C-alpha cells in the first residue's frame, strides 16, 4: 500500500503562488458582485417611501379654525352665542319680523331693530326698490342699507312670498334673486353673504299657493346660486324638518302653516348660532348702527318698529 503524501507537501512554491492569486481574484470578483447588487437594492429602496418618513407639512395640518367654513353649506360649529347675532345684518320678510317678536330667554329679542330690515309680505323683487329701513338721514332699501352699514355678515331669509304653486322650475325665481343679491354685495363688497333656506311649510296650511315641492326646488337652486357666487347657504331646513313627513314640525309652525311660532324661531336661532361663519373665534365686531332708527315692518306704514 502506497503511503499518502500530505497535500501541502505536493505543492511547490509556484503552485502555492498560483493558488493564492486565483483565490484572491475569486474573492475580489465576489466582492464587486456584492457591491453592485447592494447598489441596485439601495436605488430601488430610495424610490419607495419609507414607512417612517414624516408626512409633508402641508398634509399634517389640523383644521383648527372651523369658523372659516370652507364649504358652501354652513357646517356645525360650537354655539357662537348672542354676541354673534349682533354682528349680522338681517334682511327678510314676515318670518324675519317674527325674529323681532319673541324673547330669546336671555331677556331680549333674538335680533334688534338696529340690525334688522324686514317687511311683512315682501318678495325678492323688492330688495332694491322697497324702502324698508329708517335712518336719521331717511328711508332706505335693503341695498342702500347694506351700503350704509357695511356689516361683516348679512343673513337674508326670503322667498316665501314668491311661492306660486307646485312647479319645481326655479329658473325665473333664482335669476331675479341672484340679480338682487349681487346688488347687495356690490353695495357692501366686504360683507359675507349668508342666504338662508326658505322656511319649510307645515303639512296642513291655509295658503293654497305654497307647496313643499316648490320650497325644496327653490332651496336647491339657492344652494347652487351660493356655490356660483362664493356665498354661504344656511340649510336651516335641518332645524325645522319632521323627518317622518318631510314638512316642518307642526309644533314649530303657526296655525296658518307657514309662519314660525315661538318654538320654531328658537329652533331657527339655535341652528344659526351653531352654524356660525367667522374669520376666527374672536370675530365679534359689531358694525356701527348709530344712525339707524329701525325697520319698516309693513308695506303700508312709514313708522319704524317701536
CATH of the domain at 97: 3.40.50.1110
Contacts 24+ apart (CB under 8 A), 267-270: 267/239, 267/240, 268/99, 268/199, 268/236, 268/239, 268/240, 269/85, 269/99, 269/104, 269/110, 270/239
Structural domain total, the chain: 1
Q: What pTM value is reported for the model?
A: 0.78
User: Does residue 242 lie in a domain region?
Assistant: yes
- 25-34, 47-56, 291-300 — which is least confidently predicted? 47-56
* Higher pLDDT among residues 66 and 217, named by residue: 217
- Rounded to the nearest 10 degrees, how much is the dihedral formed by the CA atoms of 259, 265, 267, 271? 110
User: Does residue 12 lie in a domain region?
Assistant: no
Rounded Cα–Cα distance for residues 248 and 235 (Å): 13
Per-residue pLDDT band for 46 (boundaries 50, 70, 90) equals: very low
At residue 282, the pLDDT reads 85
Domain that holds residue 182: 71-295
Q: Is the pLDDT of residue 269 over 60?
A: yes
Per-residue pLDDT band for 67 (boundaries 50, 70, 90) equals: confident
The DSSP output letter for 41 is H
Residues 6+ apart with CB under 8 A from 250: 202, 203, 204, 242
Neighbours of 161 (CB within 10 A): 20
Q: Is the pLDDT of residue 60 over 50?
A: no
User: Does residue 212 lie in a domain region?
Assistant: yes
Identify which of 162, 154, 161 has the alpha carbon closest to the alpha carbon of residue 183: 154
At residue 29, the pLDDT reads 58
Q: Is the pLDDT of residue 24 over 50?
A: yes
User: Does residue 192 lie in a domain region?
Assistant: yes
Residues 6+ apart with CB under 8 A from 11: 19
User: Does residue 104 lie in a domain region?
Assistant: yes
User: Does residue 32 lie in a domain region?
Assistant: no
User: Does residue 34 lie in a domain region?
Assistant: no
Per-residue pLDDT band for 128 (boundaries 50, 70, 90) equals: very high
Grid cell in block for residue 3:
503511503
User: Does residue 243 lie in a domain region?
Assistant: yes
The DSSP output letter for 115 is S
Place of cell 349682533: 86
Amino acid at each position: 500500500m502506497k503511503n499518502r503524501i500530505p497535500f501541502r507537501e505536493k505543492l511547490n512554491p509556484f503552485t502555492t503562488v498560483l493558488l493564492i492569486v486565483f483565490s484572491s481574484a475569486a474573492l475580489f470578483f465576489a466582492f464587486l458582485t456584492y457591491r453592485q447588487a447592494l447598489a441596485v437594492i439601495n436605488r430601488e429602496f430610495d424610490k419607495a417611501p419609507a414607512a417612517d418618513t414624516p408626512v409633508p407639512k402641508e398634509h399634517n395640518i389640523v383644521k383648527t379654525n372651523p369658523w372659516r367654513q370652507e364649504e358652501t353649506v354652513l357646517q356645525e360649529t360650537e354655539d357662537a352665542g348672542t354676541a354673534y347675532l349682533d354682528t349680522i345684518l338681517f334682511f327678510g320678510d314676515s318670518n324675519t319680523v317674527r325674529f323681532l317678536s319673541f324673547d330669546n330667554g336671555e331677556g331680549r329679542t333674538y335680533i334688534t331693530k338696529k340690525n334688522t330690515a324686514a317687511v311683512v309680505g315682501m318678495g325678492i323683487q323688492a330688495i332694491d326698490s322697497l324702502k324698508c329701513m329708517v335712518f336719521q338721514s331717511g328711508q332706505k332699501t335693503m341695498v342702500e342699507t347694506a351700503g350704509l352699514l357695511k356689516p361683516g355678515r348679512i343673513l337674508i331669509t326670503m322667498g316665501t312670498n314668491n311661492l306660486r304653486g307646485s312647479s319645481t322650475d326655479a329658473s325665473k325665481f333664482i335669476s331675479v334673486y341672484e340679480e338682487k343679491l349681487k346688488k347687495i354685495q356690490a353695495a357692501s363688497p366686504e360683507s359675507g353673504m349668508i342666504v338662508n333656506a326658505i322656511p319649510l311649510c307645515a303639512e296642513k296650511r291655509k295658503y293654497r299657493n305654497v307647496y313643499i315641492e316648490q320650497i325644496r326646488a327653490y332651496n336647491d337652486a339657492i344652494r347652487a346660486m351660493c356655490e356660483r357666487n362664493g356665498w354661504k347657504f344656511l340649510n336651516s331646513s335641518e332645524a325645522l324638518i319632521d323627518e317622518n313627513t318631510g314638512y316642518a314640525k307642526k309644533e314649530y309652525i303657526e296655525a296658518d302653516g307657514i309662519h314660525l311660532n315661538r318654538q320654531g324661531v328658537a329652533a331657527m336661532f339655535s341652528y344659526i348660532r351653531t352654524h356660525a361663519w367667522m374669520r376666527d373665534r374672536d370675530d365679534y365686531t359689531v358694525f356701527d348702527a348709530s344712525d339707524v332708527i329701525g325697520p319698516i315692518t309693513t308695506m303700508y306704514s312709514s313708522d319704524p318698529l317701536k
